[in-house]
Amino acid sequence: MSNITVLFSRLFKIFTVTILVASTVVYSGSVMSAGDSLVIYSGRSDKFVKPVVAAFTKASGIKVVIHTGSSTSLLNKLKLEKARTDADIFISNDAGNLQRGNTAGLFAPVTNKIAAAIKPQFRGKENNWLGLSARARVLVVNTKAKDTDFIQSVFDLADPRLEGKIAITHSSNESYIAGVTVYMLSAGKERTRAWLKGLKQNSKGRVYNKHRKIVKAVARGKKVVGLVNHYYIYRYLNKNPNAPIRILMPDQESEDGKPMGIAWNVAGAAITKHSKHKDLAMKFMAYVSSAEGQKIFAEVNREYPTRDDVPAASMLPPVGSFKVAPVSMYKLGEERNATIDLIESVGMP
């Protein structure tokens, strides 16, 4: 191999690595070094984080660098980096990952004054993370399908009448795992195990990798009912207002008068234990938990604010108009392994 070829090969590798690294970083304001700004490790899509970051920078003058990746990968990165990390804030779209980070000792608590803005069930027990927007696990139903009146609960998805007619995500989906945790804690492990077996039978091995594909399949009549996060339905209806689908808030009624309620999950944020800018990080947490920050963080994805004094977007059923399962969000992390063991024992796809 010639020297020119070797040199070209090395330059190409350097260029490729540079592009790969750069592709994971989004800058708010001018390009700068991490040492001059607040650094966020974000497990949430940029389109849901950028608006609140831009508003924070405008309000505070504090520049922000966002490193985007999967929540699990970024947690592992924090574990490996330890005190060497540049990260000041960790953001995830799943309470389970936030609690896992807390259990691993990766986060520092916010002040009691900041934490007080968020209801206790939406934050870590030691205020080491805050849930900033909530989502509901709901059912999307095709309005043209016949004989669907019996569907009132997520557990009805296991009914033999729905064999081959349901749409669910694969069992490694974070929202799927979180939902199963809520059902396991609310209805018991054995009832949840029986339900998972019914889901496996009724899905006939066909699962989806995206919630939006579930909504589309139900809207096109390929499936009768699907289990999704609520905002995917509103996104679809925004583009397809005449689609033959409806949202069903499950588990609002029961024979004993004590319905389970829907499963919640939250997206949220935490200050990293080894943040070099804890004062700036605390200002960021104060902003995103403020009424102004909550409105931006929740509305951009049509989620529910976790502050009582900030209303949800107008198209959403208001909080208080439906029952929510009384499971604290930190439980989604504490019970995650038990949930995964249960799912795997059934052999869910």
Residue 227 lies in a domain: yes
> Which domain CATH number covers 229?
3.40.190.10
pTM: 0.88
Please give the average per-residue pLDDT across 47-55, as a whole number. 96
Q: Are residues 171 and 231 in the same domain?
A: yes
**What are the tens digits of pLDDT across the range 136-189?**
999 999 999 999 999 999 999 999 999 999 999 999 999 999 999 999 999 999
Residue 330 lies in a domain: no
Q: Which whole-number Å values give the CA distances from 70 to 79, 128, 231, in the listed order? A: 14, 20, 20
Share of the chain above pLDDT 90, in %: 87
Q: Give the per-residue pLDDT at 29.
A: 39
Q: Are residues 116 and 173 in the same domain?
A: no
Q: Give the per-residue pLDDT at 24.
A: 42
Residue 163 lies in a domain: yes
Residue 161 lies in a domain: yes
Q: Give the per-residue pLDDT at 51.
A: 97
CA dihedral 312, 313, 316, 317 (to 10 degrees): 40
**Mean pLDDT score of the chain, rounded to an integer?**
91
Asked whether residue 50 carries a pLDDT value surpassing 90, the answer given is: yes
Residue 325 lies in a domain: no
Please give the average per-residue pLDDT across 294-313, as a whole number. 93
Q: Are residues 236 and 283 in the same domain?
A: no
Q: Are residues 139 and 9 in the same domain?
A: no
Residue 88 lies in a domain: yes
Residue 186 lies in a domain: yes
Query: What number of residues does the chain have?
Result: 349
Q: Are residues 39 and 105 in the same domain?
A: yes
Q: Are residues 234 and 298 in the same domain?
A: no
Query: Phi and psi dihedrals of 324, rounded to 5?
Result: -115, 135
Q: Are residues 142 and 253 in the same domain?
A: yes
**What are the tens digits of pLDDT across the range 322-345?**
999 999 999 999 999 999 999 999
Contacts of 129 (CB under 8 A, 6+ apart): 98, 99, 101, 102, 107, 123, 268, 269, 270
Q: Give the per-residue pLDDT at 23.
A: 35
Round to whole Å and give the CA distance between 158 and 250: 14
Q: Are residues 234 and 308 in the same domain?
A: no
Round to whole Å and give the CA distance between 129 and 127: 5
Please give the average per-residue pLDDT across 211-233, as a whole number. 98
Tokens of 5: 């070829």
Q: Which amino acid is at 286?
A: A
Residue 183 lies in a domain: yes
Asked whether residue 53 carries a pLDDT value surpassing 80, the answer given is: yes
Burial of residue 85 (number of CB atoms within 10 Å: 0-12, 13-18, 19+): buried
Q: Are residues 196 and 109 in the same domain?
A: no
Q: Are residues 53 and 124 in the same domain?
A: yes
Q: Are residues 154 and 288 in the same domain?
A: no
**What are the tens digits of pLDDT across the range 2-44?**
433 333 343 333 333 333 333 344 434 333 345 579 999 999 9
Asked whether residue 245 carries a pLDDT value surpassing 70, the answer given is: yes
Q: Are residues 37 and 173 in the same domain?
A: no
Please give the average per-residue pLDDT across 280-285, as a whole number. 98
Please give the average per-residue pLDDT across 40-62, as a whole number. 96
Could you give the number of structural domains in the chain?
2
Domain interval for residue 71: 3-134+266-316
